[in-house]
Homo-oligomer: A and B are copies of this chain.
Amino acid sequence: MPSPDTTQTSGPLTGLRVLELGHFVAAPFGSRLLADLGADVIKIEAPGGDPVRQWGRQVEGAGAPWSSMHQRNKRSLVLNLKDPRAIEIVLRIVGTCDALIENFRPGQLARMGLDRERLEAARPGLVVAQISGYGQDGVYRDRAAFGVIGEAIGGLRYLTNHPPSMSDLPPVRVGVSIGDSIAGLYAAFGIVAALWARDRREGGDGRGRTLDVALTESVLSMMEGMLPEYGAFGTVRQPTGSRIATAAPSSAYPTSDGKWILIAGNSEPIFARLTALMGRPDLAQDPRFVGNRARVANVEELDRLIGAWSVEHTAAELDKLLAEADVPSTIAYTAAEIATDPQFRSRGMVREVDDPLFGKVLHAGIVPHVPDDPGRIRWPGPPAGFHTDEILRDVVGLDAAEIAALRRDGVAA
């Protein structure tokens, strides 16, 4: 793997340096968002590397292709943080950084010798983002942070279900570690907010701040009117399966080739176009279906009629017919449809990245898109420790003999 050119960057966070002491999803995802916008992210990994590198299917001897995307645009340094010399190195790197992001269990960072006072002494004004399951204080702080548990506490899992009248299967996981990723995004947001407060020309106060981001709270923050409505009326928001409680028709319908097509036909003109397309223009005049309120009240029958029509057609046919009739719809995209979607491709949101380990790897693009100062995929995720020598030499200031000694003693790798 050739050494990436770390001096050439672009994006609004060019010039920012961030230390990542992260593993699995939340902190590494948050720091990757910063790296995508131009930050120099130094990821410190334990010997053997971040365990997330083993997630997903492996290419023998090279690791999992996911890591190409998950760790992209970062530099990787392997240190054994149980050795006091490694902690000294961390503090010297901290001295060159604007921010630190971590997702150890609460208290672990301090126990390692990296408490707030020592970090602040190494780098006055350091911004520190700490991601955990439940937060850095409170009665739950020491609980293990399993993503599926945190998402259920935040209220997401209960709502992601069919109503009990339709199914006795358990509520569904969304299929990805969404709570971790949302927490990582909140941490990235908090870091740049704290940097603006610290660094801005007029009014910047030069001081560091701590971001205490909990997975449970990040999920809860997405729950819209759930709490105010409960407080005001005592109503407990209930799952509505594939539908929306207040609009109809809006659901996923079966196709003849075993896919699902989403149709959002819940305004009068759209509903009229949909029923005409179905060859049932009478339904738009049917008192059971005139107006959104009536359609919601009779949604079972309405969805049965739409499903009976949709299942007679392939997903591709429906996609074409509904688009021609100007009815908002889409096939429920799998990875295959995403990979070839012309909009994602034209906006660089699906792109092939040259990866020395895996050949070409398909990456999701950079969000947010900054058209007048776009971030770049500067290089794919490096193997663990790929930049160990470079960082120890250029950032920490060690000479070749010192680096060799650290490697020999298992402090660095």
Contacts and interface: CB of A to CB of B under 8 A. Distances in A.
A270 B115 CA distance: 31
A66 B363 CA distance: 37
A56 B229 contact: yes
Contacts of A55: 225, 246
A189 interface: yes
A364 B221 contact: yes
A91 interface: no
A89 interface: no
A275 interface: no
A225 B65 contact: yes
Given A155-B338, A186-B368, A332-B158, A199 B201 contact: yes
Interface in A344-377: 344, 346-347, 349-350, 352, 358, 360-365, 367-373
Contact of A253 (B12, B170, B341): B170
A330 B152 contact: yes
A398 interface: no
A54 to B, nearest CB: 10
A358 B232 contact: yes
A148 B225 contact: no
A162 to B, nearest CB: 6
Interface string A184-207: 011111101111110111111000
Contacts of A14: 197
Contacts of A149: 262, 264, 328-330
B201 A368 contact: no
Nearest to A185: B185
Nearest to A128: B372
A241 interface: yes
A389 B37 CA distance: 40
A27 interface: no
Given A66-B229, A185-B185, A212-B371, A171 B364 contact: no
Given A12-B197, A154-B338, 7 more contacts: A16-B196, A55-B246, A57-B232, A66-B224, A149-B328, A186-B368, A211-B368
Q: Which 8 A-B pairs have the closest CB atoms?
A: A159-B175, A231-B362, A66-B225, A12-B197, A230-B335, A190-B368, A170-B252, A170-B242
